[in-house]
A and B are shown apart, each in its own frame.
Chain A
């Protein structure tokens, strides 16, 4: 219903402030045309949507910590997008006491809230939490969408916060969800010339950090399977780089079969049945596809250049990869059936680590130009290149499940130099460092969890 609101808001935002737009858009957002990405999103300054999220109302035996934290995680999620700004609870003129009492809209309009999230949490006799929420447009004095109710065991309350965040974000912006997702990455400790690297997972907001069990040898660049219950990564257990699969529930590791030489840079196809990777034989690195079900390995490139960092298109028909066949590193697309690779990047500098957006519309990449590293995006045909970041070393973009946000890692220079994971909106706004308990690199984002 209100999905179109955000696109209209973006188009208008260069001229009108959001407050005005909010007042009109909930009225005009009656049409049902599909939301589409508007590339003008990076222009103009957007005033964030003002959000009131009181602590969830306690019902039947829920504890006050959870009722506070549910609201806090949601406001942190939405604030982290840069598109929302939570009003501090201290500024509220009233506290909702019951989930079903009519909303006193004047109490929220007086503190300039655009949107009110009203939630409640109760403990069921069987020990489960019951969490429900409703979303209100204060100016229109109307509910946005229908209320939702969730049941969960009490340890999983954070996931409910993420699911509610996703619902609010989707209803208000029209964009796909991404908060209920995880990130697999490499946790790094120790000095720069003697780093210990460990595979680790965390929630997209940095919570629930967990190291994965594996041999102490070097590990590189873990990537999720589409089902999010497996990862694939490069490890040095045998002394040479080789591609391994890990089941995340058992943390059991198996080597990908049929790999001679050195193998690295693996990624899953979007349907999870294939893996594309690089294999180096006699010093030459080419692209291969391994079918997990049949075990058949297919060679895609035979060039004497370095062909690496491959990534599947969402439809599984194409691979984007980097190659120095033209002299320097540039981006190419090749059909998964083979044939000629088509170059898509033509700018000055070196292009690396291309990753196809889950929406299929954009390719994110690392660019090295005049001694600086950038994260950028371009359309699949190579046009509309935009650089989003710049630093001494920014590398390895990873797409959020909704194709709107990227994570990457930024390494600082010098003896004490170390990597951290950052996120940025594809508009180029809202650069944020993800808090991790160690140095962190090589992030990869799961899909929305089930």
Chain B
């Protein structure tokens, strides 16, 4: 079972990295099953949303992050990467910095709730990876997000 889980994870990792052979070397591989990932995404919630140009955690974000904390405490040693994103309404460089602020806000929250520092890495994508593609508030509100990706950590 363990080996199958690992194999699935590595496959997911490779698929996620889109042929980037260098990226896999820089990420700690860890054991997690497909169903664990789906549970985390669908039942716990891997994404928190932000207000325009803000990186403060809203009440809806905090309740999702509390659920993430509980789940992460059960999966001891499982590394995570928090991705910070912005909507398309800002300039590229500013949005990279804003995404970093958002990812950092989530990391700080997880740290204060007792998740170990060396399990968490952060990355900003700015406006480079929109989830939704319409150009109005309905999509923008979904793109201003921080996503907790479980099972991988970028080596710093």
Contacts and interface: CB of A to CB of B under 8 A. Distances in A.
A248 interface: no
Contacts of B94: 306, 308-309, 322, 324, 329, 352
B15 to A, nearest CB: 13
Interface stretch (A38-46, A275-283, A382-390): A275-283
Contacts of A192: 130, 133
A308 B22 contact: no
Interface residues of B, number: 42
Interface string B87-103: 01111111011101101
B23 interface: yes
Interface residues of A, number: 47
B118 to A, nearest CB: 15
A415 interface: yes
A277 to B, nearest CB: 10
Interface stretch (A22-30, A110-118, A216-224, A291-299): A216-224
B100 A280 contact: yes
Contacts of B97: 278, 280, 285, 306, 308
B124 interface: yes
B91 A241 contact: no
B156 A260 contact: yes
Given A220-B128, A414-B135, A352 B19 contact: no
Contacts of A220: 92, 96, 128
Nearest to B100: A280
Contacts of A282: 104
A264 interface: yes
A193 B104 contact: no
Nearest to B102: A283
A238 B92 contact: no
Interface of B: 18-20, 22-23, 26-27, 55, 81, 88-94, 96-98, 100-101, 103-105, 107-108, 121-125, 128-135, 154-156
Interface of A: 191-193, 195, 197, 215-218, 220-221, 237-241, 260-262, 264-265, 278, 280, 282-283, 285, 306, 308-309, 322, 324, 329, 352-353, 366, 368, 371, 392-393, 395-396, 411, 413-415, 417, 442
